[in-house]
């Protein structure tokens, strides 16, 4: 197993994976009502193709991709459409969702699987991935089929399957690697064939010895490497830097350096779509945190609510202060336990009230720990000051747009300053100004 070079900066948050990583994935039986948002991906909302009162089958398309960047949405159960209306969404916005009443019959739509999907040609593989609504399941949610087609004239040297899962709480990818290594390898091979990538590399966390053991027998010509065990080792740019020694150009795309990165859960979903004909209607979600009675990984149908997940893990063990979807470092805090799981929900965290306290910010003492940990080699303390003083041209000049929003600077700051908030603010303002015709 090759140990790769390191990336810039990084932090070592206390590992909180153990409570959920050791037990096998449990299947959450589909709840009575599911709220399936039209937006579970990057890009535009899908367009509903069913109406209130319609009967739907499990796996049936209920909303079609709409616009250049979008993905279709499928029904996670068989049942009846109760409503199509705005509901609470992981993003914090209210987003239109198709509410489905589960009839409990588990009646599938006709599935279009293939016993040996690697025989299919590249075009067909991409079509099926697109039809199955597969999107980047590490959190970004970019439609996978679009990512698999590099611009003309570009050859991809590497398909990197990202299994680093650097968030200190999340273990869903680790469990998938341990329990479904064949699926992940098949998914990787299919995506390599579809994209024309020359070499497949699976990147694991240094600590993932169990996953490595599960993979190595079956890996064949696929190379398995371990990433340095620091956060954000699972960042796309960091994985590329470590595995290939190349840096994605500022403002550019991974394909410009011949790399394509796909998440482990995406590979698993691709394999299921092509071999079994099952669209992207379920995923593994880590449910953990100080208020969760039995932290574990659940196989969850999209559209199940936070409340469903919490109940399945034994309910709240103590009063929660904060409930987060998508990891402790980059996830979003939720205000409504009815918010549903979507394709990008890697992790649900219920923090106790003590864990949820936000410390007061004190003056910056320029200790530069934020500079030391920044994986983009920025000066976060400077960017924070520029954001605060609305000096957006300076923020741009100091590389605000190169910030990957990993939050390492916030984490390490001994003065507890909201560095990332001000950097995000500066980024949003810069982008908004660029769009506005002057």
Partner 1 sequence: MDDLKLIVAPSPHIRDTDTTEKSMFATLIALLPVVAASVYFFGLDALRLVLLSGAAAVATEAIFQRLRKQPIRVGDGSALVTGVLLGLIVPPSLPSWMVILGAVFAIAIGKQVFGGLGQNPFNPALVGRAILTASFATAMTTWRTPFDAITAATPLALGEVSGRIPDLFFGSVAGSLGETSALAILLGGIYLFYRGYLDYRIPVGIFASVIVMSLITGQSVIFHLLAGSLLFGAIFMAVDPVTTPVTKGGRWIFGFGVGLIVMLIRTWGSYPEGVAYAILLMNAVTPLINRWTRPRIYGQGVKTSE
User: Which lies closer to partner 1 via its Cβ, residue 48 or residue 141?
Assistant: 141
Whether omega for the bond prior to residue 232 falls within 30 degrees of 0, making it cis, is yes
Which one, 200 or 409, has the nearer CB to partner 1? 409
Is residue 57 near partner 1 by the rule CB under 8 A? no
Interface pick for partner 1 out of 323, 342, 383, 395 (rule CB under 8 A): 323
Q: Which of residues 181-240 bind partner 1 (CB under 8 A)?
A: 237
For the CB of residue 230, give the shortest distance to partner 1 in the complex, in Å: 13
| Residues numbered 300-319 forming contacts with partner 1, rule: CB under 8 A | 316, 319
Residue 230 or 272: the one with the smaller Cβ distance to partner 1 is 230
Q: Which of 83, 107, 333, 430 binds partner 1 (CB under 8 A)?
A: 333
Q: Are 361 and 384 in contact (CB under 8 A)?
A: no
Q: Site map for partner 1, 125-164, x if CB under 8 A?
A: -----------------------------x----------
Per CB under 8 A, the list member of 414, 428, 433, 434 interacting with partner 1 is 414
For residue 261, count CB atoms less than 10 angstroms from its CB and return exposed for 0-12, middle for 13-18, buried for 19 or more: buried
What are the Cα distances from residue 423, in Å, to 179, 354, 382, 387, 429?
A: 39, 27, 9, 6, 10
Residues with Cβ < 8 Å from 336, sequence gap 6 or more? 88, 306
CA-based end-to-end distance of the chain? 54
Kindly state whether residue 88 participates in binding partner 1, applying the rule CB under 8 A.
no
Query: By CB under 8 A, is residue 83 in contact with partner 1?
Result: no
362 touching partner 1, by CB under 8 A: yes
Selected from 137, 164, 185, 328, the binder of partner 1 by CB under 8 A is 328
Q: Please identify, using beta-carbon distances, which residue of 123 and 319 lies nearer to partner 1.
A: 319
User: Which C-beta is closer to partner 1: that of 74 or that of 87?
Assistant: 87
**Among candidates 134, 118, 75, 70, which has minimal Cα distance to 267?**
134
Q: Which is nearer to partner 1, 98 or 342 (CB)?
A: 342
- Binding residues for partner 1 restricted to 417-436, rule: CB under 8 A: 418, 420-421, 424
Q: Which residue number, 44 or 333, has a Cβ lying nearer to partner 1?
A: 333
Binder among 77, 186, 348, 412 for partner 1 (CB under 8 A)? 412
Using CB under 8 A, count the residues that bind partner 1: 74
**Structure tokens that stand for 244 in this block:** 């290939």
Residue closer to partner 1 by CB (options 181, 407) is 407
Selected from 372, 388, 391, 430, the binder of partner 1 by CB under 8 A is 372
Quick one: which of 3, 5, 123, 416 contacts partner 1 (CB under 8 A)?
Answer: 416
Paired strand residues for 112: none
Interface pick for partner 1 out of 1, 249, 428, 434 (rule CB under 8 A):
249
Contact region for partner 1 (CB under 8 A) — 101-109, 124-132, 217-225, 349-357?
Answer: 349-357
Interface positions, 3-22, toward partner 1 (CB under 8 A): 8, 11, 13-14
The distance of closest approach from Cβ of residue 20 to partner 1 in the complex, given in angstroms and rounded to an integer, is 16
Q: Which span sits near partner 1 by CB under 8 A: 41-49, 60-68, 112-120, 326-334?
A: 326-334
Instruction: Output 118 or 361, the one with its CB closest to partner 1.
Output: 361
Residue count of the chain, please give it. 438
**At closest approach, how far in Å is the CB of 369 from partner 1?**
8
The answer to whether 381 contacts partner 1 (rule: CB under 8 A) is yes
Beta-strand pair 199-205/223-227: parallel
- Contact residue for partner 1 among 299, 415, 429, 430 (CB under 8 A): 415
Partner residues linked to 79 by β-bridges: 56, 102
- Which of 80, 199, 332, 391 is in the footprint of partner 1 by CB under 8 A? 332
Q: Which one, 174 or 376, has the nearer CB to partner 1?
A: 376
């Amino acid at each position: 197993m090759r140990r790769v070079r390191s990336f810039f900066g990084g932090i070592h948050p206390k590992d909180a994976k153990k409570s959920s990583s050791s037990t096998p994935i449990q299947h959450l039986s589909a709840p009575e009502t599911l709220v399936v948002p039209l937006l579970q991906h990057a890009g535009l909302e899908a367009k509903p193709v069913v109406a209130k009162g319609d009967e739907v089958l499990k796996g049936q398309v209920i909303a079609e991709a709409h616009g250049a960047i979008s993905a279709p949405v499928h029904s996670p159960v068989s049942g009846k459409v109760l409503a199509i209306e705005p509901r609470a969404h992981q993003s914090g916005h209210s987003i239109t969702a198709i509410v489905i009443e589960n009839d409990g019959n588990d009646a599938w739509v006709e599935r279009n699987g293939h016993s040996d999907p690697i025989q299919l040609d590249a075009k067909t593989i991409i079509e099926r991935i697109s039809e199955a609504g597969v999107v980047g399941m590490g959190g970004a949610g970019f439609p996978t089929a679009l990512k698999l087609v590099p611009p003309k004239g570009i050859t991809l040297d590497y398909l990197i399957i990202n299994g680093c899962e650097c968030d200190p709480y999340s273990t869903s990818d680790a469990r998938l690697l341990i329990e479904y290594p064949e699926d992940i390898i098949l998914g990787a091979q299919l995506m390599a064939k579809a994209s024309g990538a020359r070499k497949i590399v699976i990147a694991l966390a240094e600590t993932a010895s169990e996953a490595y053991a599960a993979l190595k027998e079956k890996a064949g010509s696929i190379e398995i490497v371990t990433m340095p065990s620091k956060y954000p080792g699972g960042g796309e740019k960091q994985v590329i830097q470590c595995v290939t020694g190349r840096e994605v150009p500022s403002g550019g795309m991974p394909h410009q350096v011949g790399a394509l990165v796909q998440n482990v859960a995406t590979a698993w979903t691709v394999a299921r779509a092509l071999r079994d004909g099952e669209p992207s209607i379920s995923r593994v979600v880590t449910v953990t945190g100080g208020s969760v009675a039995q932290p574990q990984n659940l196989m969850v149908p999209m559209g199940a609510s936070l409340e469903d997940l919490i109940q399945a893990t034994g309910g709240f063990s103590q009063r929660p202060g904060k409930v987060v979807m998508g990891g402790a470092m980059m996830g979003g805090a939720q205000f409504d336990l009815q918010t549903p799981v979507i394709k990008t929900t890697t992790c649900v965290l219920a923090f106790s009230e003590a864990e949820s306290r936000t410390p007061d910010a004190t003056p910056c003492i320029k200790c530069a720990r934020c500079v030391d940990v920044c994986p983009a080699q920025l000066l976060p303390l400077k960017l924070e000051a520029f954001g605060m003083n609305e000096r957006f041209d300076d923020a741009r000049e100091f590389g605000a747009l190169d910030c990957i929003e990993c939050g390492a600077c916030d984490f390490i700051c001994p003065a507890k300053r909201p560095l990332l908030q001000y950097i995000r603010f500066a980024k949003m303002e810069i982008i908004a100004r660029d769009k506005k015709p002057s």
